[in-house]
Amino acid sequence: PASRRVLIAGNWKMNGLKSSLTEIEALAAGYDGDLKAKLDLLVCPPATLLISAAERLAGSGVQLGGQNCHPAPAGAHTGGISAEMLKDAGVTSVIVGHSERRTNLSESDAVVMAKVKAAWCFGLLPIVCVGETAEERDAGEAVGVVTRQVHQSLPEGCTASNLVIAYEPVWAIGTGRTPTPEDVANIHGTIRSVLRSQFGVEADGIRILYGGSVKPDNAATLMAVADVDGALVGGASLKAADFLAIARAT
């Protein structure tokens, strides 16, 4: 929709070495006038590459994101990376509550909310991930689970300019399986109405991304669904050519 600028975000997860910076350079080169006119492009490489990636992206308009931040501002949290550190590295957005962290690292809705607040403290745009597991979908609980996650992961004060949501059905991540456009429309519509009831009219400007096995050949179909304002792309974001093809197909 005209009022919501499309966002195509890439999550490299725990992939990428210094040699992968050529992909970052290719993204910077490929984000041409046509793409700039129609969408925002964001790449989230691992933390070790952020500072070098920021140098490669400078002046290109491609935005840089983190994959996670610690809820605390600083202190005795060995291995932690704070929102301020991300900001200092040249980051403008941060993925929060990815299902791999919710599942494997027991990240609760309450922790996700604390991370959103930490991101806000340093002016970062949090991309909050929600989504049901296969078991939850099969039990008819997808709408209920996603509604609960949105309610409980978001602090007061969410607006179009300080929040992005990503709906990522867990069973679609890295599997090559995607929900039908009808299923995506149903969940995105649900998220939109939950946001509206929680935050009022401001919610209508909040972007809701779809994530889970987005590829160049299914991007156009998924991105055409009502209330889908972009994509969060995992595997297909590792190669600049694929990631740019997804952006162009949108």
Binding site for ligand PEP (CB under 6 A): 11, 168, 173-174, 211-214, 232-236
CA–CA distance, 74 with 76 (Å, rounded to integer): 7
Tokens 């966002």 sit at which residue? 7
Distance CA 43, CA 53 (A): 9
> Which among 70, 98, 100, 132 is annotated as catalytic?
98
Segments of 67-203 assigned E as strands: 93-96, 125-130, 164-167
Name the residue with tokens 């070790």: 48
Q: Which is nearer to ligand PEP, 73 or 176 (CB)?
A: 176
Q: Is 5 or 215 the residue whose CB approaches ligand PEP more closely?
A: 215
Place of tokens 């790449």: 43
Positive or negative torsion for Cα 178, 183, 185, 186: negative
Looking at the Cβ atoms of 64 and 233, the one nearer to ligand PEP is 233
Residue among 116 and 199 whose Cβ is closer to ligand PEP? 116
Of the residues 100, 107, 132, 168, which is catalytic? 168
Residue type, 242: D
Contacts of 185 (CB under 8 A, 6+ apart): 225, 226, 227, 228
For residue 10, give Cα distances in angstroms to 40, 116, 121, 161, 237. Answer: 11, 19, 24, 19, 5
Question: Which residue, 136 or 242, has its beta carbon nearer to ligand PEP?
Answer: 242
For 82, counting Cβ atoms within 10 Å of its Cβ (0-12 exposed, 13-18 middle, 19+ buried), the class is: buried
- The question of whether 135 is a catalytic residue gets the answer no
Closest approach of ligand PEP to the CB of residue 211, in Å: 4
CB closest to ligand PEP, residue no: 234
In terms of CB distance, is 24 or 233 closer to ligand PEP?
A: 233
Q: How far is the CB of 47 from ligand PEP (least distance, A)?
A: 16
Active site residue 168: yes
Cα–chain center distance at 247:
14
Number of neighbours of residue 160 by Cβ within 10 angstroms:
18
Question: Which are the catalytic amino acids?
Answer: 98, 168
